[in-house]
Amino acid sequence: MKPAGFAYHDPQTVAEAVALLGRLENARLLAGGQSLMPMLAMRVAFPDHLIDLNRVEGLDGITVEQGVLRIGAMTRQRSIERSAAIREACPLMTEALTHVGHLQTRNRGTIGGSLCHLDPSAELVTVAAALDATIEVAGPEGQRDVAIADFPLGFMTPALAPEEMVVAIRIPLWPREHGYSFMEFARRHGDYAIVSAAALLVLDSAGRIARASVTLGGVGAAPLRVTTAETALVGEAPTPALFRAAAACCEGIEAMEDPQAPAWYRQRLAAVLTRRALERAWARATGEAA
Amino acid sequence: MNAGRLVGRDVARVEDAALIRGRGRFVDDIAPAGLVHVAFLRSPHAHARILRIDVAVARALPGVHAVLLLDDLRPHLTDTRLVVALPSPSYRLDLHRPVLAETEVVHVGEALAVVIAESRYLAEDALALIEVEYEPLPAVADCDNALAPDAPPAHSWASSNLAAEMTVAYGDVEAVFAATPHRFAETLHIHRGGSHSMECRGVVALHDVVEDRLTVWSSTQTPHTAKRLICDLLGMDETRLRVVTPDLGGGFGPKLIFYPEEVVVALAARLLGRPVKWIEDRQEHFVSTTQERDQTWRVELATDAEGHILGVRGDLVHDHGAWTARGVNVPQGAVAAMPLAYVVPAFRMTIRAAVTNKVPVTPVRGAGQPQGVFAMERLLDRAARELGLDRAEIRRRNLVSAEHMPYATPLKTRGGIPVTLDSGDYPRCQQMALDEIGWAGFAERQRVALAEGRYIGIGVANYVEGTGRGPFEHVSVRVEPSGRIMVATGAAAMGQSTRTMLAQIVAEQLGANMANVEVITGDTAAAPIGIGGSNSRQAVLAGSSAHVAALKVREKVLAIAGEMLEVAMGDLEIEDKVVRVKGAPGHSVTLASIARAAAGQPGFVIPGGRGPGLAASEEVVIDAMAYANGTAAAEVEVDIETGAVTITRLVFSHDCGRALHPRIVDGQLMGGIAHGIGNALYEHMRFDDQAQPISTTLADYLLVTATEMPPVRILHMHSPTPLNPLGIKGVGEAGVIPIPAAIAAAVEDALSPFDAHVCRVPLSPVDVIAMIDPVPEGSA
Amino acid sequence: MSETRRITLIVNGEHREAETPVRQHLADFLRGTLGLTGTHVGCEHGVCGACTVLVDGHAVRACLMLAVQAAGHEVTTVEGLSLADGTLHPLQQAFCDHHGLQCGFCTPGMLTTLVEFLAEHPAPSEEEVRLAISGNICRCTGYDSIVAAALAAARALRGDAA
């Protein structure tokens, strides 16, 4: 399990990296390497050129400004997990990270790497979808924004041109008193989820649901926003029955199947985890749960 | 039995000093100057004809020293097949696997070419340049289907896929079943996976051209067998070959097998005149290291109205894999383990081993016994439910009791040796587990939980395990002129503290300083004969030989010292490196001077009157196996919405006779228990219907990690076996054996409101949900 | 394609300089190029944790990092945990005391993982220890003795009586 040969490049700036992408045939970016390195070792990925982003300046960092969280693409999962600012402003992401891999992989793995690898079960991609994130992409013509909804083109395929790279993710923050929950079902701690569910709720002054976000990971090629469930929730008074009804929207979704789990099982998990995530998010919105 | 000065105590392990600092010497740590690296080309097809292999481009790659096919090796081999099967009259096909496949490949991962290059990286580059033209053939993916009349042959030349068949029987089974209305039938699908030692396999071979001697370091549990086979295959004189088992990063069964890679690497070193290394990577491990896999048990239990067992019958279909890499010992061991804990008056099990296009099956920790226990325990749970008996009570009524001991069963081992349960109190052992887990009060706990919407369950399973398979293990003990005590054995250590165990036993008799004892395991140059590691045998066999040899050396030490000190032997004691007069510690002589005296001086009489040298060599022969026993009780909670099974408590009571080192015993059991939890809930070596393996990474094949382990409580009984001088029974495999059965029973109990019926392991969450709420046919 | 690079880095406190193929992973570099065979390779796809080393104090899987990426960084392997006089790190001592190792193959990865963890969590719960080592597979011990060793080491490092 040794990688095939490649030429190695370690640019210092985004401009250099983009220039290399434009110039080199069959090049791949190396971020944290926690997914790409096994693919190289198994010789299922054969880049002729590897462009290492680990020495590129200015690609990491976490800022919260004017209601927007911005995380540089090369920010390690570990830094996000330990960021007090994110725990405060975007606790859904902190909670999701406790499910991502293991201590050693989070020390290297980056948010940009997770977004671009686009594993259907990746927690951070699900969180990005749940929060209506925007992906900042750099290319030869400069920078552009891609809405997370438009980012996945297909199975593990991000909407990036060959000479483009992700430089950051921007997340509009929810009001301070929102409720949130990230739940997943994996076989062992740290495994990719079979299905994950992210839920966010904001209650109005009357205690009704003013805003809701329900997102499923692991059911399809890309995270699925369950808009039918969201619609069913908004304007209603939260009750267990309401959450059951909202969760029932997941039973009809189209789910993928793999050797671990058939589609019917994923559909059931989707409904169960959605309901549980909504209940937890509600408890948090009302201050009844930490 | 009381603890000695060292034996029976938690002394520090001799292995730790090096391992804890990263200074162990595993096979991949051995790097002689001039080393070249090997990679094997392995079949991507489960079954195919090889039409053409073109290695020209690969050979031309810079850094590649050789690309060899069987045709290139043939002139240097006495045989192109590995004839390794244990004797048995049951074989119906000769399935000796080739050194390299030549005309047909019969499982994914079978090697057909070898590349030797400057680095493993380059060797893998060259693999990609070898062109092979295959003609795919129908593959046999499933052992049940393999035996169907219209099944394609797994080997194109074979008339059927029946590798072996045999019947294990005693008593009048038909009469017993005819005479009772209480018959309980089950069809059980029992899967076990690989061993997955954290270290994969590996071989390093070094050819000394000056003396024409070959040294082979192999990650083998059986170096003496490897030596014999390499000598046979290469036509070598025994004096020219040394096989060494270095530190092993776990074995767990498959490393006891002799593999094609071992002879290929040895031969490559001779052909190239360079040291050669092959290190199996994890993906190769999934497709080339032997494993256990599928068994289908169709079994039936007959009892009287009170649940007393009258008889057991049925048949077992066993996935044999594509070749006979060891024998029929796994299904044979499975069937043998089935009735062992209980009084079973009549028994008949038919075994059919089916050839499949998969990597060969050979023992993994437990070696079939978990399956046999699973079958028996599932039948007993079924009988208890239908007879309205408590599940522990039906077992108590049938367990072989202490008054029965020694209990001669009508069974025989694979070597024809009568199976006699030598010692133990099985009902008491079960009761200990039941008391600890709170079996008596569980029904109430379950009722309360159910009222809260929680589904909890409890299960119990018993096992009796044949340990310490004979006939012997070699151990020599020698006091060197330095006063150091050298111990050498044919036993091979794979991480179970074998060197500590032998140092303890020898030092117990010779000064009680383990630091003064050097133990060499697994080196054919240090031990003339040996059998090696398997069957939970090394403490029993090597331990016994070490004990007897140490006593002999002790006797000689004292005789010589007595003459040197002019006191009676009985007045002497050995303390650290000196022999001294009891009560007069100043009056002493060192082990070194005793050894020098025993070494003799020209023209002088050796003191002590016991001949020259201060050494003894022993092969204590123990043919009968020592039967260990135990009980596992598990409590689980099932999430009926996700199918998740959480083991909330696990109690393991057991009896392995005298414990040489209680902490090591616990460690062996805990490792086995973790493995058993994997077999119950996680580990599944999956193949598709064309026998393509689909769980070939450790992300897909789920080994238990620290977060999946439940709270475990281990309880000990110590019934010394009369079969060996130390009273010990093996414990290396015990932990795994009853765990799948106990967990399956607990899950079934938790799901009793749904009338769920557990008849397979491993149980995935999907399986659990399917039991609660079956999905209609055709549902997506 | 066997492009190589000359790299310099600090390994176990020592300045090292060596040539490495750019495709060589850090574990192979440490073991093969530098001869530090205490770091073990168990799966080469980032699951088993046997190859864990500390890079700038952080536990990482050495099979998921190229050696060239370690240039300019500080790497600590199991060989670098004990003191120069041979005194074991309290964690190593605790592993010996609690039978936290059997075959010893996973041990270096367990130790390096726990070194970082205990530095950040001086008084961990048992559950936290289990989570910390959930990316390190051990086939021998069933983990209980490793968890016990880690908790004992935490006490020793805090200066509590055992």
| B118 and B277 Cβ atoms separated by less than 8 Å | no
Q: Exposure of B52 by Cβ count < 10 A (0-12 exposed, 13-18 middle, 19+ buried)? A: exposed
Count of the separate structural domains present in chain B: 3
Chain A residue numbers with beta carbons less than 8 Å from the beta carbon of B780 are: 263-264
d(CA A263, CA B372): 34
Q: Which two tokens stand for residue C84?
A: 């120069």
Mean of pLDDT over chain A: 96
Q: What is the CATH number of domain C4-80?
A: 3.10.20.30
- Residue ending a domain, among B244, B279, B314, is B279
| Short-list B586, B530, B588, CA closest to B562 | B588
What is the pLDDT at residue B283?
Answer: 97
3-class SS of residue A279: helix
DSSP H helices in chain A: 14-23, 36-41, 77-82, 84-89, 91-97, 103-108, 111-117, 123-130, 227-233, 240-248, 263-285
- Residue ending a domain, among B231, B251, B279, is B279
Do B112 and B56 fall into the same domain? yes
| Short-list B473, B502, B468, CA closest to B618 | B473
Distances, alpha carbon A144 to alpha carbons A18, A62, B21, B42, B743, in Å: 13, 19, 52, 47, 55
| B90 and B331 Cβ atoms separated by less than 8 Å | no
Does residue B406 have a cis bond before it (omega within 30 degrees)?
A: yes
Question: How close is the nearest chain A Cα to the Cα of B121, in Å?
Answer: 5
Its domain, for residue B739, covers 294-387+418-459+626-772
Q: How many CB pairs under 8 A join A and C?
A: 92
> If you ran DSSP here, which 8-state letter would residue C89 be given?
P
Q: Which two tokens stand for residue B39?
A: 């990679």
d(CA B561, CA B594): 6
Chain C residue numbers with beta carbons less than 8 Å from the beta carbon of A2 are: 23, 28, 44
Whether the predicted interface score ipTM is above 0.95: yes
Do B223 and B104 fall into the same domain? yes
Q: Which of C63, C96, C99 to mutate to test the interface with B (most CBs of B within 10 A)?
A: C99
CATH 3.30.43.10 residue spans of chain A: 7-52
Do B635 and B718 fall into the same domain? yes
* Fold designation for C90-158: DNA polymerase; domain 1 (1.10.150)
DSSP H helices in A36-83: 36-41, 77-82
CB contact under 8 A, C130 and B496: no
What is the pLDDT at residue C161?
Answer: 58
CB contact under 8 A, C40 and B705: no
Q: Which two tokens stand for residue A229?
A: 């469930």
3-class SS of residue B135: strand
d(CA A243, CA A90): 23
* DSSP annotation string for B652-686: EEEE-BS-SSHHHHHHHHHHHHHHHHIIIII----
Return the HEC string of B420-434: EECCCCHHHHHHHHH
Q: Which of B28, B40, B124, B709 to mutate to test the interface with A (most CBs of A within 10 A)?
A: B124
Identify residue B390 by its one-letter amino acid code. D
Q: Which CATH architecture has domain A62-172?
A: 2-Layer Sandwich (3.30)
What is the pLDDT at residue A252?
Answer: 85
Question: How close is the nearest chain C Cα to the Cα of B117, in Å?
Answer: 13
A147 strand-pairing partners: A134
Q: Exposure of B777 by Cβ count < 10 A (0-12 exposed, 13-18 middle, 19+ buried)? A: exposed
Q: How many CB pairs under 8 A join A and B?
A: 63
- CB-CB: which of C22, C58, C68 is closest to A107? C58
Does C5 touch chain A if contact means CB atoms closer than 8 Å?
yes
How remote is the C-alpha of B230 from its chain's centroid?
Answer: 23
d(CA B727, CA B659): 9
| B312 and B335 Cβ atoms separated by less than 8 Å | no
Q: Which of B61, B690, B766 to mutate to test the interface with A (most CBs of A within 10 A)?
A: B766
**Block residue for tokens 């079979």:** A194
Does C1 touch chain A if contact means CB atoms closer than 8 Å?
yes
- Tell me the CATH number at B123: 3.90.1170.50
Does B208 touch chain C if contact means CB atoms closer than 8 Å?
no
Do B341 and B453 fall into the same domain? yes
3-class SS of residue A64: strand
Q: Which two tokens stand for residue B667?
A: 């460690």
Do B300 and B265 fall into the same domain? no
Do B511 and B636 fall into the same domain? no
CATH 3.30.390.50 residue spans of chain A: 179-285
For β-strands A165-172 and A157-158, DSSP reports them as unpaired
Q: Exposure of C15 by Cβ count < 10 A (0-12 exposed, 13-18 middle, 19+ buried)? A: exposed
CB contact under 8 A, C40 and B200: no
- Tell me the CATH number at B422: 3.30.365.10
Do B521 and B424 fall into the same domain? no
Say which residues have a Cβ less than 8 Å from residue B126's Cβ, sequence separation at least 6: B39, B58, B59, B61, B64, B67, B115, B117
Asked if the structure places residue B464 within a domain, the reply is no
Q: What is the CATH number of domain A7-52?
A: 3.30.43.10
B154-195 per-position pLDDT tens digit = 999 999 999 999 999 999 999 999 999 999 999 999 999 999
Domain ranges of chain C: 4-80, 90-158
Q: Which CATH architecture has domain A179-285?
A: 2-Layer Sandwich (3.30)
Q: Which two tokens stand for residue C160?
A: 């509590």
Q: Exposure of A57 by Cβ count < 10 A (0-12 exposed, 13-18 middle, 19+ buried)? A: exposed
Does A187 touch chain B if contact means CB atoms closer than 8 Å?
yes
- CB-CB: which of C1, C5, C46 is closest to A105? C46
C105-150 per-position pLDDT tens digit = 999 999 999 999 999 999 999 999 999 999 999 999 999 999 999 9
For β-strands A62-65 and A152-154, DSSP reports them as unpaired
What is the pLDDT at residue B776?
Answer: 53
pLDDT of C1 higher than 60: no
Distances, alpha carbon B372 to alpha carbons B297, B318, B392, B463, in Å: 9, 12, 18, 9
Asked if the structure places residue B720 within a domain, the reply is yes
What is the pLDDT at residue A43?
Answer: 96
> If you ran DSSP here, which 8-state letter would residue C30 be given?
I
Q: What is the rounded end-to-end Cα distance, in angstroms, of chain A?
A: 45
Do B611 and B730 fall into the same domain? no
Neighbours of chain C (3+ CB pairs under 8 A): A, B
CB contact under 8 A, A102 and C68: no
Binding-face residues of B in 707-736 toward A, CB within 8 A:
707-708
CATH 3.30.465.10 residue spans of chain A: 62-172
Search chain B and give the residue with CA nearest C142.
Answer: B671
How remote is the C-alpha of A5 from its chain's centroid?
Answer: 31
Stretches in chain B below the pLDDT threshold 70: 1-2, 775-780
3-class SS of residue A195: strand
pTM passes above 0.95: yes
| C49 and C137 Cβ atoms separated by less than 8 Å | yes
Say which residues have a Cβ less than 8 Å from residue A133's Cβ, sequence separation at least 6: A127, A148, A169, A170, A171
Asked if the structure places residue B509 within a domain, the reply is yes
Do B742 and B720 fall into the same domain? yes
| Short-list B596, B193, B554, B550, CA closest to B358 | B193
What is the pLDDT at residue B780?
Answer: 41
Does B197 touch chain C if contact means CB atoms closer than 8 Å?
yes
Distances, alpha carbon C132 to alpha carbons A188, B414, C162, in Å: 14, 45, 22
Do B444 and B498 fall into the same domain? no
d(CA A82, CA A103): 12
Distances, alpha carbon B281 to alpha carbons A39, B141, B289, in Å: 15, 24, 10
Which phi and psi (to 5°) does residue B53 adopt?
-125, 125
Chain A residue numbers with beta carbons less than 8 Å from the beta carbon of B282 are: 1
CB contact under 8 A, B671 and C139: yes
CB contact under 8 A, C64 and A38: yes
Do B578 and B636 fall into the same domain? no
Neighbours of chain A (3+ CB pairs under 8 A): B, C
Does A268 touch chain B if contact means CB atoms closer than 8 Å?
yes
d(CA B567, CA B580): 10
d(CA B69, CA B274): 19
